[in-house]
Amino acid sequence: MSLFAWDTTYSVGIPHIDEQHEKLVSYINKLHQAMLRDEEDNVTGKILNELTAYIKNHFAGEDDLMVKSGFSDHDVTTRHQYERHKMEHAEFTRKISDMIRKHYESKEYISVDLLTYLVEWLLNHIASIDKQYASFIKNKR
Ligand SMILES: [Fe+2]
């Protein structure tokens, strides 16, 4: 059973971004499975490394989209939203690298609470922050 099931309420309406978000959630579900099966540290570590790489690409892709669509510099509101968005990405990136470090310090570190926090952070970010640039792009079409 998944910790979290993806559904279309979390869609931002940009297909390749939705796919990436769904993939991020599936990585968190994979971590949950690994935790339940009490996998070796390197199994969980491998998922964490893949998740880190995927997040890095995903955030860079969103950044690119925000810049190329003109969102990052359209007006004072979008400029502010863009800055806030970058801050949230940086914060999450830090959180994940912190997780990797702590995971190797103590296997018990990865817990349902922590994974729930990650999923909630992600869904909250998608619903509030990602939807800002997504609706800007959709309105331009
Ligand atoms: Fe984002």
DSSP type of residue 124: H
The rounded Å distance from CA 126 to ligand 1 centre is 6
Alpha carbon distance 23, 6 (integer Å): 9
Kindly give the confidence (pLDDT) of every residue in the chain, 141 residues in length, as a single tens digit, with 9 standing for 90 and above. Answer: 678 888 888 999 999 999 999 999 999 999 999 989 988 878 888 999 999 999 999 999 999 999 999 999 999 999 999 999 999 999 999 988 888 888 888 877 888 888 999 999 999 999 999 999 999 999 987
The rounded Å distance from CA 39 to ligand 1 centre is 30
C-alpha torsion sign, points 52, 25, 59, 15:
positive
The rounded Å distance from CA 37 to ligand 1 centre is 31
> Residues with Cβ within 5 Å of ion ligand 1?
62, 130
DSSP type of residue 3: S
Helix axes 41-68, 15-36, angle to 10 degrees: 160
Alpha carbon distance 61, 67 (integer Å): 10
The rounded Å distance from CA 116 to ligand 1 centre is 18
The rounded Å distance from CA 140 to ligand 1 centre is 19
Domains and CATH numbers, the chain: 14-140 (1.20.120.50)
Helix axes 41-68, 76-105, angle to 10 degrees: 170
